[in-house]
Amino acid sequence: MFQIDFGESSETVVGIDLGTTNSLVAYMDAATPRVIRGEDGDNLVPSIVSLAPNGEIVVGNPARQMLIDRPDRTVYSAKRLMGRGIGDVQDELKLFPFRVAEGSEQVVRIQLGEKQFTPPEIAAFVLRQLKKNAEAALETQVTKAVITVPAYFNDAQRQATKDAGRIAGLEVLRLVNEPTAAALAYGLDKRKKGTVAVYDLGGGTFDISILKLHDGIFEVLATNGDTHLGGDDIDNLLIHIALEDIQSEWGEDLSIHGEAVQTLRRAVIAAKESLSFLPSAQMEFAFHGKTYHREITRELFDRLITGIVDRTLGPCRDCIRDAGVSVEQIDEVVLVGGSTRIPLVRSAVEKLFRAKPHTDLNPDEVVALGAAVQAGILSGTLEDNLLLDVTPLSLGIETMGGVVSKIIHRNSTIPASASESFTTSVDGQRNVLINVVQGERELVKDNRPLARFDLKDIDPLPAGMARIEVRFLIDANGILNVTARDARTGKEQSMDVRPMYGLTDEQVEAMYKASIDNAEADFHARQLAEVRVDADAILAATEKARQSDAYTDLPEEERQAIAKAVNELLLLYHGQDHLQIRSKIEELNAATMTLAENMMNAAVKGALKGTKL
């Protein structure tokens, strides 16, 4: 297992929460994570980027002001567009004032004034500002970072985040799931095991994740949420009420005045934030010499927002169900996002999960603090067993034909978890041999064996009908846990293996070099092995079919065509041209088409015999 080596004097590694609404950066001050303030004294940097008329890029609070004055030159919530194609974000784009550049096809390009930018470039401007803030506060160059991402981000979205970091001049050492970072901030990784729910209600999005803790490793069991639900909905509700009041009192519709609405929004947000701590709050707003004033009590506020809070509970229940756990099995609940300061939100979460949630840390900062903890571990500031970096060689299992199916690939960041589903190759098969191997070659014989065990007493189904789930989990100590489970019966078998021990760095490099040197030959061998597996399957199925009445009922010429196709496939079976073998498989498949249809019709008639429709 490799470790990150920063030399004798380790560099500062920061933790970054790259958020949809706001972003922030944190670092480890000795053993304590701390958020870094910006030039304006705020911890939070709004994730807003604007292109000034003079061509200067403006980020954060100054860009927020330009959103009012120059919405055509300002972009926000670019995180929603990261790693997604133009076809994926049509619904998102309807909600934004900025335009997508003409000619955008696969990659979204945002038009700001006379210039165009991709979402990673927009995110890079925010990251660059955070980097600048960190360097000013720490008085040192910052080039390495840990960045958080939503648990549901796919590979493309994660890669886009890494690209943004690289554009900003940051080496992204690790991407950490936001719920995992929140749990790290609370030190929940120190538990041996447990189940953690992370409820994240931010300004524009809501996420709920259920994590399973296993020896310091967090595995995401399930995630759910609503990408258009958050504190903004509460703000908009209060603004709508205020605008109706103002129109009634002043006889004027202020909704058509963008500056007035944005000013009113600030008054609404101030009142909302006060109601998290006080029994009542004053909502005051002045515009063109007139003043609007209204008192809102906590009781009224709770009644107004009950529907919004309730909208978060449905995804929570779905997530619990998808995770396969009960509420009673959830040991810890963590709150993330500024909107979780609202007392009604906290009481609703506590009632649903039947546990008092963690609220000691600032919910706006908890994800960045967790990222800083991970950054401290990677930089060596904190001593922890998570210094292990990547898997040096791929890990997989043997499949039909002696071929390796890789489940966790070389250089995967650990802790790592992955699973795949397989099936049986023989009718009535009761046992499945799980042969775990390590290496980069395509065939089992050329890789290093690690472990073998049997999954016994699976349902004896026809070949191809069973579903066997194989799951690999590498923990922080480099120990691989392999679990095989019969999806129908739930029976499972698992074992721990130590895949990284016993190999020197030189041996790892030698194995990797061998995989490169033999890549072409290995690929050819794999193609042959796979096509022979397919040939075995169709030959066995054809032989079985030739014993049936459906075959006897075929015209003589069709039976002769099947026999000819079988013989031609057998003649080429041991040859070295996988394309020729594949072509003969397709010819046999075509020759048996009528036979397969007749057998299917006979099976359906048998199943419906005596049944009235």
Listing DSSP states for 336-371 in one string gives ESGGGGSHHHHHHHHHHHTSPPB-SS-TTTHHHHHH
pLDDT tens per residue across span 387-415:
334 566 788 888 877 888 888 877 666 66
What pLDDT sits at residue 340?
A: 95
Burial class (CB in 10 A: 0-12, 13-18, 19+), 97: exposed
Separation CA 468–CA 449 (nearest Å): 21
Q: Each residue of 340-363: b (16+ CB within 10 Å) or e?
A: bbbebbbebbeebbebebbbebeb
Least confident range of 73-87, 263-277, 348-362? 73-87
**For residues 100 and 107, what is the distance between their CA atoms, to the nearest angstrom?**
10
Structure tokens at 543: 């032989």
Q: Is the model's pLDDT at 611 over the cut of 50?
A: no
520-608 topology per CATH: Substrate Binding Domain Of Dnak; Chain:A; Domain 2 (1.20.1270)
- Position 4 scores a pLDDT of 31
Contact 93, 84 (CB under 8 A): no
Q: How far apart are CA 182 and CA 365, in angstroms?
A: 9
Alpha carbon 478 to its chain centroid, in Å, reads 22
Percentage above 70 pLDDT, the chain: 86
Residue pair 264/242 in contact by the 8 Å Cβ criterion: yes
Range 395-503 classified under CATH 2.60.34.10: yes
Q: What is the pLDDT of residues 130-155, one digit of tens each?
A: 999 999 999 999 999 999 988 777 66
Question: Model confidence at 263, in pLDDT bands (50, 70, 90)?
Answer: confident
Active site residue 91: no
pLDDT at 386 over 60: no
For 502: left if phi > 0, alpha if psi spans -120 to 50, otherwise beta; the answer is: left
Least confident of 229-243, 427-441, 474-488: 474-488
Of 344, 248, 269, 348, which Cα lies nearest the Cα of 301?
344
Q: Are the CB atoms for 436 and 397 separated by under 8 Å?
A: yes
Q: What is the rounded CA–CA span in Å between residue 181 and residue 172?
A: 15
pLDDT band at 331 (very low <50, low <70, confident <90, very high): very high
Sign for the pseudo-dihedral over CA of 586, 592, 593, 596: negative
Phi/psi for 39 (5° steps) reads -60, -30
DSSP assignment of 556-595 equals: HHHHHHHHHHHHHHHHHTTSS-HHHHHHHHHHHHHHTHHH
Q: Is there a contact between 364 and 170 (Cβ–Cβ < 8 Å)?
A: no
Q: Which fold has domain 13-186+365-371?
A: Nucleotidyltransferase; domain 5 (3.30.420)
Structure tokens at 212: 């399973």
Q: What pLDDT, on a 0 to 100 scale, did the predictor assign at position 478? A: 56
Is pLDDT above 70 for 319? yes
Confidence band for 343, pLDDT divided at 50, 70 and 90 = very high
Residue 525: strand, helix, or coil: helix
Model-level pTM greater than 0.75? no
For 231-303, CATH number?
Answer: 3.90.640.10
- 469-509 pLDDT, tens digit each: 888 887 654 567 888 888 888 888 877 765 443 444 455 45
Residue type, 80: R
Active site residue 200: yes
pLDDT category, 301, cuts 50, 70, 90? very high
Tokens 């509420």 sit at which residue? 327
Q: Above 60 in pLDDT, residue 52?
A: yes
79 is catalytic: yes
Most confidently predicted of 363-367, 533-537, 540-544, 598-602: 363-367
178 classed as catalytic? yes
pLDDT of 91 strictly over 90:
no
E-assigned strand segments in 366-415: 395-399, 403-408
Of 17, 163, 332, 365, the active-site residue reads 17
Backbone dihedral angles phi then psi of residue 175, each to the nearest 5 degrees? -100, 125
> CA-CA distances (angstroms) from residue 413 to 170, 174, 408, 522?
18, 8, 10, 26
Confidence class of residue 226 from pLDDT cuts 50, 70 and 90? confident
d(CA 419, CA 396): 10
Share of the chain above pLDDT 90, in %: 29
Strand partners, 194: 213
pLDDT for the residue 36: 95
Torsion angles phi and psi, residue 152, rounded to 5 = -85, 0
CA angle (492, 498, 504) in 5-degree steps: 155
Extract the runs of DSSP E, i.e. beta strands, from 204-289.
206-214, 217-226, 280-287
Which of the four pLDDT bands, split at 50, 70 and 90, describes residue 385?
A: very low
Q: Where are the domains of the chain?
A: 13-186+365-371, 231-303, 395-503, 520-608
234: closest CA among 337, 347, 152, 80?
A: 337
What mean pLDDT is predicted for residues 534-556?
Answer: 85
Taking the C-alpha atoms of residue 525 and residue 517, their distance in angstroms, rounded to an integer, is 14
Give the active site residue among 121, 131, 144, 178: 178
Residue from 163, 200, 364, 365 carrying the catalytic annotation: 200
pLDDT over 90 (residue 115): no
Answer whether residue 214 shows pLDDT above 50.
Answer: yes
Residues ≥6 apart with Cβ < 8 Å to 507: none
* Mean pLDDT, rounded, of the chain: 83
